Amino acid sequence: MSQRLVIDPITRIEGHLRIEAEVDGSGVVQKAYSSGTMVRGLEIILKDRDPREAWAFTQRACGVCTTVHSFASIRAVEDALDIQIPKNANLIRNIMIGQQYVHDHVMHFYHLHALDWVDVVNALQADPAETSQIAQSISSWPKSSPGYFKDIQARLQSIVDSGQLSIFANAYWGHPAYKLPPAINLLATAHYLEALDWQKDVVAVHTIFGGKNPHPNFLVGGVPCPIDLNSDVALNAERLSVVGDAIQKMVEFVDQVYLPDLLAIAPYYLDYAGLGEGLGNFLTWGEFPGEDINDASKYLVPRGVILGRDLTNIVEPDPKDFAQVQEFVSHAWYDYSVGDATGLHPFQGETNLNYTGPQPPYEQLNVDQKYSWLKAPRWNGTPMEVGPLARVLMMYASGHEQTRQLTEAVLNTLNAPVEAVFSTLGRTAARAIETKVFVDALQGYYQDLLANIASGDTATFNGERWDPLSWPGHAEGFGFTEAPRGALGHWVVIDGRKISNYQLVVPTTWNASPRDAQGQAGAYEASLVGTPLAVPDQPLEILRTIHSFDPCMACAIHMIDAEGKPLTEVRLGGNTC
Amino acid sequence: MEILAEKMTESRLNVVSKSTQAGQGARSVLVLGLGNLLNSDEGLGVHAVRALQADRAADFPQVTFLDGGTLGLNLLPLVEDSSALLLLDCVDAGLEPGSVIELAGDEIPRYSGVKLSQHQTTFQEVLGLAEIRGALPARLHLIGVQPASLALGTELSPQVQACLPGVLQRVEALLQGWISGEGAR
């Protein structure tokens, strides 16, 4: 007999995700279904607006990574109107994008993902001297004395004694799938708390270049911060030095805390090097362009597609090819004017909402029908995984030397074969590997920016096409970024100087997509099959794999929800399937 | 390049001295209005702090009045940098709509149920983190109002609107007590 396990909501993610899994009598997942339970609708809001202001609306898709939709938007409009941006603007954008990765990945690791692996309550059993010894053996990070860890432990004890676990309240403490020794649990808990100080310092990069954080300012044609070394209000030497200091703090934390912690924790969870594989198909739109964004060969992260784990053959996808990129709604709560069995390219995309699911509260979704607010994006009809693993594979397969060295070093440390990268652990390690690659690249972009300014170039904005009268009557553009969670694309159609169609295909729509017209599962759905659950009503193992994708449902699907409604966390149905 | 490098060294010293100065005055009295302006009474804290900014800020030059909105975790540094913190928020205490609720110190809960996402890091969790990090303000007080409506809308319900003047008076009295040093927590 199999049973239907419902996890709604999945916690410690962005937004609302529901997973329904069919679990067999021995507690192994046989089939899984991923449902986005909120609708977004930004496409509807953007219709008939000025394309130069679209970034300010799309940015609000998320309150955590608050730059990615702006980058995709301004790049889409620049592509449509054939605008080249100045060298300084490209370098500043690259620094902002790099900061976003490092900031987001560290916060994801410690604040959203770590609690799947680290048993905070068990840290109370640790010997602080042992934690100190481990800390000093893996890193030169200065906060590592026995007294420091003892102090953290004492504060944790007082929180536990008070009965208010607060931010740590929502987890399966004591679950048999937690494997770390107490000393490492204490180490990771200390760094969880330290990361909060660190993030406060590193957001300065966005504040300086974009005027504020969260949700910095953007500009079609460049960046909104003029460079004037003699001005108090422009980007001057003082502000540049603050950016330099922030980058230094990022480098130190990644080198001395994040990477050593990952390598200290991973050996206890090697079974996850063989779980959570998923599709084996990967897509990237690419990131960190050189001076010409149209020259994809100069991107640090290549634009590419890998099919069936074949790292010897990277195909370059064409985002404007109507046959290559399509979204399907056969299992999503939308109607297409051409019928639901046909996929539509985003330039022709439609956003006609039609909810046909059960009236809440409901026990389970009818997965043979429509069951999600996420459409199913496909490349040449094939489902794709996007994100850190896709990017690292693309850099690895195209011969990026540092990526190869880091990947091999991690595999050697874990004594794991190269196939181990196609897994939950591989995804989590890839996030750390690319963080190291990007934080080093950040230092390079920063030095390039200083050198270019020192050479006398202070241009940050190209205003040749700012006036709508200079635009063609009809224009189409594709804008992209590799968001922390994966490939993000915006497609804009401009008619009569206004937006006539706008479509966002976001990373989590690729990863969390429902089945398509052919019945092919999305990446989350595929990755859960075969996962054994030690305690089926505490499905920690499912959370580990889903969190390894870093779901961002707020960006995939969006609506205003009355906060604080009581929601069932985990339910077990007795259905025989 | 050398000129830029020189300027940067010079300015680094400026930054250090500025942040030292800021650090000295940073632990101060903060009045933080919390809530979502788009859900009618959920925005009570923001409506209240805006009214205070407009009418009372001049009477309390040593107090910072801030619209904290729904910024969640981003508010942690501001909380940790204050020595006395007064929170204004909509609070569900199961009372009659418009009832004013006051909680002090440990009476303020540090957790409020299932955490759905980082978007919903509730302010109570920010307090919980500040506590674990040993940086909770010494003086902590909350003035809340039981909502009548959380429906979409940018205005307060009539019941909650009617109690706003009383809330502002309470804030004023409390701050006066804090500043004159009489108001123990």
Please write the tens of the pLDDT for every residue from A549-562.
988 764 443 222 22
Q: Which of A272, A306, A346, A340 is nearest to A117 (CA)?
A: A272
pLDDT greater at residue A431 or residue B24: A431
pLDDT greater at residue A482 or residue B120: A482
Interface size between A and B, measured as CB pairs under 8 A: 121
Nearest-by-Cβ selection for B125 from A166, A454, A567: A166
Interacting residues of A547 by C-beta distance below 8 A, sequence separation 6+: A12, A13, A112, A113, A116
pLDDT at A367: 93
pLDDT at B86: 96
Q: Is B38 in Cβ contact with A560 (below 8 Å)?
A: yes
Q: Quick check: A514 pLDDT over 80?
A: yes
Tokens 């004492």, located at residue:
A154
Interacting residues of A112 by C-beta distance below 8 A, sequence separation 6+: A12, A13, A547, A550, B118
User: Is residue A278 very low, low, confident or very high in pLDDT (cuts 50, 70, 90)?
Assistant: very high
What distance in Å separates the CA atoms of residue A435 and residue A99, rounded to the nearest whole number? 10
Q: Quick check: B25 pLDDT over 90?
A: no
DSSP string, B108-167: S-S--S---BGGG--HHHHHHHHHHTT---SEEEEEEE--S--SSBSS--HHHHHHHHHH
Q: Is A155 in Cβ contact with B77 (below 8 Å)?
A: no
Q: Which 3 state secondary structure label does DSSP give A304? A: strand
List CB contacts (< 8 A) between A16 and chain B: 116-117
Is any Cβ of chain A less than 8 angstroms from the Cβ of B13?
no
Nearest-by-Cβ selection for A164 from B38, B39, B110: B110
User: Is residue B111 very low, low, confident or very high in pLDDT (cuts 50, 70, 90)?
Assistant: low
Tokens 């149905």, located at residue:
A573
Give the N- to C-terminal CA distance of chain A in Å, as an integer: 7
pLDDT at B121: 54
Interface test with B, best of A241, A248, A452 (most B CBs within 10 A): A241
What distance in Å separates the CA atoms of residue A388 and residue A485, rounded to the nearest whole number? 7
Determine how many CB atoms are found less than 10 A away from the CB of residue A1: 8
Is any Cβ of chain B less than 8 angstroms from the Cβ of A163?
no
| Contact between A115 and A12 (Cβ < 8 Å) | yes
Is any Cβ of chain B less than 8 angstroms from the Cβ of A419?
no
C-alpha B36 chain-centroid distance: 13
Is any Cβ of chain B less than 8 angstroms from the Cβ of A359?
no
Backbone angles phi and psi of B81, in degrees to 5: -90, -5
Q: Quick check: B17 pLDDT over 50?
A: no
Q: What residues of chain A, 93 to 152, have a C-beta less than 8 Å from chain B?
A: 111-112, 151
Q: Quick check: B185 pLDDT over 60?
A: no
Q: Which of B44, B173, B29 is nearest to B100 (CA)?
A: B44
What distance in Å separates the CA atoms of residue A50 and residue A109, rounded to the nearest whole number? 38
Interface test with B, best of A62, A152, A563 (most B CBs within 10 A): A563
Residue of A nearest to B127 (CA): A166
What distance in Å separates the CA atoms of residue A265 and residue A408, rounded to the nearest whole number? 18
Is any Cβ of chain B less than 8 angstroms from the Cβ of A200?
yes
C-alpha A41 chain-centroid distance: 20
pLDDT at A563: 31
pLDDT greater at residue A326 or residue B151: A326
Token pair recorded at residue A54: 């679209």
DSSP string, A26-81: TSBEEEEEEEE-S---HHHHHTTS-GGGHHHHHGGG-SSS-SHHHHHHHHHHHHHH
In our burial notation (b when 16+ CB lie closer than 10 A, e otherwise), range A341-366 reads eebbbbbbbbbeeeeebeeeeeebbe
Q: Which of B140, B129, B135 is nearest to B88 (CA)?
A: B140
CA distance B123 to chain A (A): 11
Mean per-residue pLDDT, B73-84: 91
User: Is residue A566 very low, low, confident or very high in pLDDT (cuts 50, 70, 90)?
Assistant: very low
pLDDT in tens, A148-166: 999 999 999 988 887 776 6
What distance in Å separates the CA atoms of residue A304 and residue A288, rounded to the nearest whole number? 14
Is any Cβ of chain A less than 8 angstroms from the Cβ of B94?
no
Q: Quick check: B20 pLDDT over 60?
A: no
Backbone angles phi and psi of A274, in degrees to 5: -120, 15
Nearest-by-Cβ selection for A560 from B77, B125, B152: B152
Mean per-residue pLDDT, A486-507: 97
Mean per-residue pLDDT, A398-418: 96
| Burial (CB count within 10 angstroms: exposed 0-12, middle 13-18, buried 19+), residue B47 | buried
| Burial (CB count within 10 angstroms: exposed 0-12, middle 13-18, buried 19+), residue B122 | buried
What distance in Å separates the CA atoms of residue A568 and residue A8, rounded to the nearest whole number? 7
| Contact between A261 and A407 (Cβ < 8 Å) | no
pLDDT at B126: 84
ipTM: 0.75
Interface test with A, best of B118, B126, B150, B154 (most A CBs within 10 A): B118
What distance in Å separates the CA atoms of residue B168 and residue B59, rounded to the nearest whole number? 13
Mean per-residue pLDDT, A285-311: 97
Q: What residues of chain B, 56 to 75, have a C-beta less than 8 Å from chain A?
A: 70-74
pLDDT at A565: 30
List CB contacts (< 8 A) between A167 and chain B: 111, 115, 121, 125, 128-129, 132
Omega before A383 cis (within 30°)? no
Is any Cβ of chain B less than 8 angstroms from the Cβ of A402?
no
DSSP single-letter state for residue A256: I
Nearest-by-Cβ selection for A229 from B4, B38, B76: B4
3-state helix/strand/coil string of A357-384: CCCCCCCCCCCCCCCECCCEEEECCECC
C-alpha A404 chain-centroid distance: 22
Tokens 């100045």, located at residue:
A86
Round the average pLDDT of chain B to a whole number and report it.
Answer: 81
DSSP single-letter state for residue A109: I
Q: Quick check: A141 pLDDT over 80?
A: yes
pLDDT at A13: 61
pLDDT at A222: 98
Q: Is A112 in Cβ contact with B128 (below 8 Å)?
A: no
Mean per-residue pLDDT, A406-422: 95
Interacting residues of A542 by C-beta distance below 8 A, sequence separation 6+: A5, A7, A19, A21, A29, A32, A528, A531, A533
Token pair recorded at residue A568: 């069932």
CA distance A478 to chain B (A): 29
What distance in Å separates the CA atoms of residue A211 and residue A218, rounded to the nearest whole number? 9
| Contact between A277 and A259 (Cβ < 8 Å) | no
Nearest-by-Cβ selection for B128 from A11, A167, A238: A167
User: Is residue A79 very low, low, confident or very high in pLDDT (cuts 50, 70, 90)?
Assistant: very high
pLDDT greater at residue A374 or residue B72: A374
Nearest-by-Cβ selection for A564 from B7, B74, B112: B112
What percent of chain A is modeled with pLDDT above 70? 93
Mean per-residue pLDDT, A431-452: 98
Rg over CA atoms, chain B: 19
Is any Cβ of chain A less than 8 angstroms from the Cβ of B93?
no
pLDDT at A562: 26
| Contact between B69 and B121 (Cβ < 8 Å) | no
Round the average pLDDT of chain A to a whole number and report it.
Answer: 91
C-alpha A56 chain-centroid distance: 20
pLDDT at B115: 37
What percent of chain B is modeled with pLDDT above 90? 44
pLDDT at A173: 84
pLDDT at A304: 98
pLDDT at A417: 92
pLDDT greater at residue A172 or residue A422: A422
Interface test with A, best of B40, B107, B117, B127 (most A CBs within 10 A): B117
Is any Cβ of chain A less than 8 angstroms from the Cβ of B132?
yes
Q: Which 3 state secondary structure label does DSSP give B19? A: helix
pLDDT at B183: 45
What distance in Å separates the CA atoms of residue A36 and residue A229, rounded to the nearest whole number? 48
Q: How many residues does chain B have?
A: 185
User: Is residue A349 very low, low, confident or very high in pLDDT (cuts 50, 70, 90)?
Assistant: very high
List CB contacts (< 8 A) between B35 and chain A: none
Is any Cβ of chain B less than 8 angstroms from the Cβ of A237?
yes
pLDDT at A339: 95
Is any Cβ of chain B less than 8 angstroms from the Cβ of A47?
no
- Partners of A7 in the β-ladder: A19, A570
Mean per-residue pLDDT, B149-156: 90
Residue type, A229: L
Mean per-residue pLDDT, B139-149: 92
What distance in Å separates the CA atoms of residue A124 and residue A526, rounded to the nearest whole number? 37
Token pair recorded at residue B17: 């001295």
What distance in Å separates the CA atoms of residue A178 and residue A118, rounded to the nearest whole number? 7
Interface test with B, best of A167, A208, A243, A561 (most B CBs within 10 A): A167
Nearest-by-Cβ selection for A155 from B1, B73, B132: B132
Is any Cβ of chain B less than 8 angstroms from the Cβ of A426?
no
Q: Is A156 in Cβ contact with B124 (below 8 Å)?
A: no
DSSP single-letter state for residue A548: H
What distance in Å separates the CA atoms of residue B174 and residue B158, rounded to the nearest whole number? 25
Q: Is A196 in Cβ contact with B76 (below 8 Å)?
A: yes
Mean per-residue pLDDT, A256-260: 98
Q: Is B10 in Cβ contact with A563 (below 8 Å)?
A: no
Residue of A nearest to B129 (CA): A167
Q: Quick check: A333 pLDDT over 50?
A: yes
pLDDT at A9: 67
DSSP single-letter state for residue A323: T
List CB contacts (< 8 A) between B70 and chain A: 63
Name the packing angle between helices A424-454 and A388-397 (round to 10°). Answer: 70
List CB contacts (< 8 A) between B67 and chain A: none
